[in-house]
């Protein structure tokens, strides 16, 4: 039976840390994204032709939202579980009458919540620079929640794997961010010539950006069903890996 009090305690404690570090957790990502909108949306976007009938400034909104969502979900979850390991309080948590499900829901739920709050603020900020609309708002919300959950699970795994603070940023900075930039954040994959278009399709982030872009404009480089299946598959893999970690105690009890 799920211990809701334990889950809520972990969840609220993680959100309290978010409030204590509001500048680094909230203000800095919003400022960074605003600079992207100023440079690419307002300055350069005014000189760019529409892509598939969508103004360039609006076209980059889903990509920039995805860029922030992936990095923040991963970083929040990895730091959240790494700190108890670093301070040694993880042993108290593991010895308490709290199951793996409660721990996972608390940490991953808090990380996903932070990312969703940030995503909402970025969407509101984008209104200051570009005019856009969301063709399928319900699907967009569900899709963003799926992505935030999947990458929070990935971050949870990274936080368990990392042996130092420098490794916490290794995957977000050196892998996720470059793949997102190359995944169609600022352009359509259809604009690429071969063999670069084929190479781009090997990038898994292309499917995530394309799926979110479809929920905004009703058109994208990849069918939405394919993007959704890719997202659900990645979520299942991460959930299975986290379950294996708890069953074996890898890096949790050593």
- Render pLDDT for 77-108 as a digit per residue (tens, 0 to 9): 999 999 888 888 888 887 878 888 899 999 99
- DSSP conformation letters of 45-113: GGGSPPBTTB-HHHHTHHHHHHHHHHHHHHHHHHHHHHHHHHHTTHHHHHHSS--HHHHHHHHHHHHHH
Cβ proximity of 231 and 207 under 8 Å:
yes
Question: What pLDDT is recorded for position 203?
Answer: 93
Dist CA 41 CA 223 (whole Å)? 25
Res 15 pLDDT > 80: yes
What range does the domain containing 81 cover?
4-248
Angle at 103 between CA 99 and CA 106, to 5 degrees: 140
Res 46 pLDDT > 80: no
Domains held by the chain: number = 1
Please confirm whether the linkage preceding 195 is cis (ω < 30° from 0).
yes
- Per the domain annotation, does 124 fall within a domain? yes
As to burial, measured by CB atoms within 10 angstroms (0-12 exposed, 13-18 middle, 19+ buried), residue 192 is middle
Dist CA 175 CA 163 (whole Å)? 18
Q: Of 21 and 254, which is predicted with more confidence?
A: 21
- Per the domain annotation, does 254 fall within a domain? no
Question: What pLDDT is recorded for position 134?
Answer: 94
- Per the domain annotation, does 205 fall within a domain? yes
Q: Of 22 and 209, which is predicted with more confidence?
A: 209
pTM of the model: 0.91
Res 175 pLDDT > 80: yes
Cβ proximity of 73 and 151 under 8 Å:
yes
- Per the domain annotation, does 220 fall within a domain? yes
If you average pLDDT over residues 197-224, what whole number do you get? 93
- Per the domain annotation, does 253 fall within a domain? no
Cα torsion through 95, 238, 175, 61, rounded to 10 = -110
Q: How far is CA 188 from CA 38, 59, 80, 253, in A?
A: 20, 9, 35, 46
Question: What pLDDT is recorded for position 51?
Answer: 85
Task: Using pLDDT thresholds of 50, 70 and 90, give the confidence band for residue 120.
Answer: very high
Question: What pLDDT is recorded for position 166?
Answer: 82
| DSSP E strand boundaries for 151-228 | none
If you average pLDDT over residues 66-74, what whole number do you get? 91
- Render pLDDT for 186-198 as a digit per residue (tens, 0 to 9): 888 988 888 988 9
């Amino acid at each position: 039976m799920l211990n809701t009090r334990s889950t809520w305690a972990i969840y609220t404690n993680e959100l309290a840390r978010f409030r204590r570090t509001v500048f680094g957790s909230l203000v800095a990502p919003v400022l960074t994204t605003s600079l992207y909108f100023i440079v690419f949306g307002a300055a350069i976007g005014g000189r760019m032709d529409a892509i598939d009938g969508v103004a360039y400034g609006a076209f980059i909104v889903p990509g920039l939202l995805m860029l922030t969502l992936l990095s923040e979900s991963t970083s929040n979850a990895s730091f959240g579980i790494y700190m108890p390991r670093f301070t040694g309080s993880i042993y108290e948590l593991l010895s308490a009458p709290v199951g793996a499900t409660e721990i996972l829901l608390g940490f991953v739920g808090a990380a996903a919540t932070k990312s969703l709050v940030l995503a909402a603020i970025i969407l509101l900020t984008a209104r200051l620079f570009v005019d856009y609309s969301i063709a399928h708002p319900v699907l967009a919300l569900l899709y963003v929640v799926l992505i935030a959950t999947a990458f929070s699970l990935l971050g949870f795994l990274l936080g368990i794997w990392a042996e130092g603070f420098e490794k916490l940023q290794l995957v977000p900075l050196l892998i996720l961010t470059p793949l997102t930039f190359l995944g169609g954040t600022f352009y359509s994959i259809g604009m690429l010539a071969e063999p670069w278009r084929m190479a781009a399709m090997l990038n898994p982030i292309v499917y995530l950006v394309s799926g979110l872009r479809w929920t905004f404009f009703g058109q994208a480089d990849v069918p939405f069903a394919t993007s959704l299946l890719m997202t659900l598959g990645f979520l299942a893999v991460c959930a299975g890996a986290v379950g294996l970690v708890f069953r074996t105690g890898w890096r949790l009890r050593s």
